Amino acid sequence: MALPFYGKKSILKLCEVYCGQKLPNIMCGIIGYIGHRQALPVVIKGLKRLEYRGYDSAGVALLETNNLKVYKKKGKVASLEEELIGKSLEGHIGIGHTRWATHGEPSDRNAHPHVSASGQLAMIHNGIIENYTSIKAELTQKGYSFKSDTDTEVLLNFIEEIKINNDCPLEEALRIALKRIVGAYCILLIDQNDPETILAARKGSPLVIGIGKGEHFLASDATPIIEYTKEVVYVNDYQIAIIKKDELVLKNLGNERQTPFITKLDMELAAIEKGGYEHFMLKEIFEQPTTINDCLRGRIHPQEGLITMGGVEAYIKNLKEAKRIIIVACGTSWHAGLIAEYLLEEYCRIPVEVEYASEFRYRNPVIHKGDVIIAISQSGETADTLVALENAKEKGALIFGVVNAVGSSISRMSHAGAYTHSGPEIGVASTKAFTGQLAILIMITLKLARALNTISTSDYKQLLQELADIPEKVARILENTDPIKAVAEKYKDASDFLFLGRGYNFPVALEGALKLKEISYIHAEGYPAAEMKHGPIALVDENLPVVFVATKDRYYEKIVSNVQEIKARKGKVICIVTEGDNIIPSMADDVLFVPDAPEALGPILSVIPLQLLSYYIGTARGLDVDKPRNLAKSVTVE
Ligand code: F6R
């Protein structure tokens, strides 16, 4: 049912029955258009916007008066565009797909759309059909052969086989097929004998339908739709959509009509364009003063000593009474969770556990009624996180989401939450979403600590004021990136890196290492600085750059000793230090300065040079930093 997810700009109330099934294995981006325009430009532009979801291959199917054309190509959308040169490209109906390979290697023949045996149907699919081998065997026995290795082609022919066998409309065949399959899907299906309709269905994988005047847009998320319309319908699991240019019908698998619930998008086109930057990643790093400010604005009131967060207020009793808080997340979001553990334990005195969602969901964890789970996710679609939450929710835990993507699955299944308001994050490596998550987690901590009376009024007020000053301090770091570029240039050919930090700076070290791995393909490890001597110190020699996150905090003296330990073994030491520090700069090979801040807020500042370091190393190595190999933005495969 309607789940409150409170933000400063809007109170989003999305009615959805959340189906409680095992959740998705979805990646890939899908796009569809039906209406008065030529479909291809809409589809290609949409694919480019969705490319961050996967870029192993891309393809389109166009339909115009009983003429179905399908073009597809291994590689990025740019390769598909080359493939389209000189081809017949007419069509007022179009579907397109950008793939992150699951079944079948990335290749032309495994690229979507797939065409049915008769040549009449074309389909794109985002998800995994888990029982496709048995269906394939059934179809093979009936004489079907397959052109690709994909589960999608199997599902498509299964639908066609049902249609022929039962002599029924395609919509009915689709319904029957979907009742038989196990797995996750978002599919768009077109029929050359019906050039007026797109059929769509979802379970697990997201689907948004944009409503225009005499036209409809379909996509995995709202980014390709926003420039045409702000009115969208989020399709729910087990719904089938029958879409014509001026009609949208939603039905459940029982063939009952359901009312489409129209949501207004709160997003501007500029937010999803590069805006003069060479890469989305760089743009998103530079947006941080604004995005952090957007996250704080309307929520913190330092003068009055107030924090307004509807989601926290609505569940303050549960939060105050929680015997423990479990934080569930993956990747960069998990690193934000680790910082939240330090914050919540220090200021609220509530025990906190931070869990990798992928482990938490499978290891039969102990969850009590009344436990509070904070789920952190940029996309709100990460499969492991989603399923972990499902399980915990069933056991009576309160789910509080810290999510960036408005209307995403995690935001809809949470009891309450807070949006980070970082805007669409297109660069595959997470940057601005991370600092947004930290800002939210700090606000939650302070608000809860205040309610619990576990923080002194002076500390509370000071932290609130310091938090308000953070966007301006981030802007100061971004004013002069030359020293970071110089460090990147100096170490770009290293084969390994070590990142070290203590206290709040330890998760920052982990995040610095993750960013570097993703963006530059350089092996990097993050470690607690003191733990280093229990093993990783053996790696240190004159070729190893060691990055210390060594800002002024309660561990400062100790980290100075750690720096010396590395120097004594001839390692190259690069330090992130607080402005005005002159001790570490006298011993390090390179230093990068960040403004002073209370240590609980320090990570929002110290992570910025690390984001830029990996960006500049990645670009210096000539890599595609927005689309690093093998990665995808929404990791919806378990
Ligand atoms: C790293 C990165 C990933 C994500 C992780 C979780 O730069 O982007 O590690 O943080 O896949 O994704 P969300 O936050 O969308 O659940």
* Sequential DSSP letters for 99-129: E--SSS-SSTTTSSPEE-TTS-EEEEE-SEE
Which alpha helices (H) appear in 95-222, and where do they start and end?
132-141, 151-166, 170-180
Q: Separation of 430 CA from ligand 1 center, angstroms? A: 6
Give the atom of ligand 1 at the shortest distance from the alpha carbon of 518.
Answer: 7
pLDDT of residue 637: 54
Give the atom of ligand 1 at the shortest distance from the alpha carbon of 428.
Answer: 8
Residue ranges lining ligand 1, Cβ < 6 Å: 330-333, 377-379, 382, 385, 429-430, 514, 518, 635
Secondary structure of residue 13 in the 3-state scheme: coil
Give the atom of ligand 1 at the shortest distance from the alpha carbon of 634.
Answer: 15
Task: Identify the band that residue 210 occupies on the pLDDT scale cut at 50, 70 and 90.
Answer: very high
Best substitution site from 378, 515, 518 to test ligand 1's pocket, by max atoms within 8 Å of Cβ?
378
Q: How far apart are CA 551 and CA 585, in angstroms?
A: 11
Total Cβ atoms within 10 A of residue 457:
10
Task: Identify the band that residue 636 occupies on the pLDDT scale cut at 50, 70 and 90.
Answer: low
pLDDT tens string 148-186: 999 999 999 999 999 999 999 999 999 999 999 998 899
Give the residue whose CA is nearest to atom 9 of ligand 1: 331
Sign of the dihedral through C-alpha 187, 191, 192, 196: negative
Q: Residue for token digits 């797995």?
A: 183
Half-sphere exposure of 17 (CA within 13 A, CB side): 9
Contact 35, 214 (CB under 8 A): yes
Concerning whether 28 is annotated as a catalytic residue, the answer is yes
Contact 28, 100 (CB under 8 A): yes
Q: What is the mean pLDDT of residues 36-51?
A: 95
Whole-model pTM: value is 0.77
Total Cβ atoms within 10 A of residue 480:
10
Strand partners, 444: none
**Token pair of 104 as six digits:** 């079948």
Residue type, 479: E
User: Helix 132-141 crosses helix 151-166 at what angle (to 10 degrees)?
Assistant: 50
In this model, does residue 298 exceed pLDDT 50?
yes
Half-sphere exposure of 621 (CA within 13 A, CB side): 23
Which residue in 505, 596, 496, 487 sits closest to 542, CA to CA?
496
Residue 304 burial (CB < 10 Å; 0-12/13-18/19+)?
A: exposed
In this model, does residue 6 exceed pLDDT 70?
no
Q: Separation of 559 CA from ligand 1 center, angstroms? A: 29
**Token pair of 382 as six digits:** 């990460």
In this model, does residue 16 exceed pLDDT 50?
no
Task: Identify the band that residue 579 occupies on the pLDDT scale cut at 50, 70 and 90.
Answer: very high
Which residue among 22, 203, 432, 633 is the active-site one? 633
Contact 373, 326 (CB under 8 A): yes
Q: Separation of 367 CA from ligand 1 center, angstroms? A: 24
Give the residue whose CA is nearest to atom 7 of ligand 1: 429
Classify strands 372-377 and 352-356 as parallel, antiparallel or unpaired.
Answer: unpaired
Which residue among 28, 186, 348, 575 is the active-site one? 28
Q: Separation of 146 CA from ligand 1 center, angstroms? A: 35
Contact 75, 25 (CB under 8 A): no
Contact 541, 567 (CB under 8 A): no
pLDDT tens string 358-413: 899 888 889 988 899 999 999 998 888 998 898 899 999 999 999 998 878 899 89
Contact 199, 241 (CB under 8 A): yes
Q: What percent of the chain has pLDDT over 70?
A: 95
Best substitution site from 635, 636, 637, 638 to test ligand 1's pocket, by max atoms within 8 Å of Cβ?
635
Strand partners, 499: 526, 547
Best substitution site from 327, 338, 360, 379 to test ligand 1's pocket, by max atoms within 8 Å of Cβ?
379
Question: Tell me, what DSSP letter sits at residue 273?
Answer: S
Give the atom of ligand 1 at the shortest distance from the alpha carbon of 633.
Answer: 8
Strand partners, 33: 94, 217
Best substitution site from 430, 511, 611, 630 to test ligand 1's pocket, by max atoms within 8 Å of Cβ?
430
Secondary structure of residue 11 in the 3-state scheme: strand
Q: How far apart are CA 243 and CA 198, in angstroms?
A: 5
Give the residue whose CA is nearest to atom 3 of ligand 1: 331
pLDDT tens string 462-498: 999 999 999 999 999 999 999 999 999 999 999 999 9
Average per-residue pLDDT in the chain? 91
Give the atom of ligand 1 at the shortest distance from the alpha carbon of 379.
Answer: 15
pLDDT tens string 514-558: 999 999 999 999 999 999 889 888 888 999 999 999 999 999 999
Classify strands 416-419 and 398-403 as parallel, antiparallel or unpaired.
Answer: parallel
Q: How far apart are CA 236 and CA 254, in angstroms?
A: 14
Q: How far apart are CA 265 and CA 226, in angstroms?
A: 8
Q: Residue for token digits 């400063």?
A: 8
Q: Within the chain, what is the greatest distance between any pair of CA atoms?
A: 81
Q: How far apart are CA 334 and CA 568, in angstroms?
A: 33
Give the atom of ligand 1 at the shortest distance from the alpha carbon of 405.
Answer: 15
Give the atom of ligand 1 at the shortest distance from the alpha carbon of 433.
Answer: 14
Which residue in 117, 114, 98 sits closest to 106, CA to CA?
98
Q: How far apart are CA 624 and CA 520, in angstroms?
A: 9
Q: Separation of 340 CA from ligand 1 center, angstroms? A: 16
Give the residue whose CA is nearest to atom 16 of ligand 1: 377
Contact 212, 245 (CB under 8 A): no
**Token pair of 136 as six digits:** 């394939």
Task: Identify the band that residue 267 occupies on the pLDDT scale cut at 50, 70 and 90.
Answer: confident
Q: Residue for token digits 């938490």?
A: 360
Give the atom of ligand 1 at the shortest distance from the alpha carbon of 515.
Answer: 7
Secondary structure of residue 510 in the 3-state scheme: helix
Q: Separation of 580 CA from ligand 1 center, angstroms? A: 34
Total Cβ atoms within 10 A of residue 269:
10
Residue 439 CB contacts under 8 Å (≥ 6 apart), including other chains? 292, 295, 296, 420, 467, 470, 604
Q: Separation of 635 CA from ligand 1 center, angstroms? A: 7
Contact 348, 452 (CB under 8 A): yes
Task: Identify the band that residue 23 occupies on the pLDDT scale cut at 50, 70 and 90.
Answer: very low
**Token pair of 178 as six digits:** 């979907």
Q: Separation of 192 CA from ligand 1 center, angstroms? A: 39
pLDDT tens string 406-445: 878 899 899 999 999 998 888 889 999 999 999 999 999 9
Q: How far apart are CA 302 and CA 340, in angstroms?
A: 21
Q: Separation of 132 CA from ligand 1 center, angstroms? A: 29
Q: How far apart are CA 192 and CA 213, in angstroms?
A: 24
Q: What share of the chain is helix, strand, coil (3-state, %, to 5)?
A: 40, 25, 40
Give the residue whose CA is nearest to atom 4 of ligand 1: 331
Task: Identify the band that residue 632 occupies on the pLDDT scale cut at 50, 70 and 90.
Answer: low
Best substitution site from 330, 610, 613 to test ligand 1's pocket, by max atoms within 8 Å of Cβ?
330
Q: Separation of 386 CA from ligand 1 center, angstroms? A: 13
In this model, does residue 341 exceed pLDDT 80?
yes
Region at 127 (left for phi over 0; alpha for psi -120 to 50; beta for the rest): left
Task: Identify the band that residue 635 occupies on the pLDDT scale cut at 50, 70 and 90.
Answer: low
Three-state DSSP string of 566-631: HHHCCCEEEEEEECCCCCHHHCCCEEEEECCCCCCCHHHHHHHHHHHHHHHHHHHCCCCCCCCCCC
Question: Tell me, what DSSP letter sits at residue 425?
Answer: -
Q: How far apart are CA 614 and CA 485, in angstroms?
A: 10
Q: Residue for token digits 């007419």?
A: 90
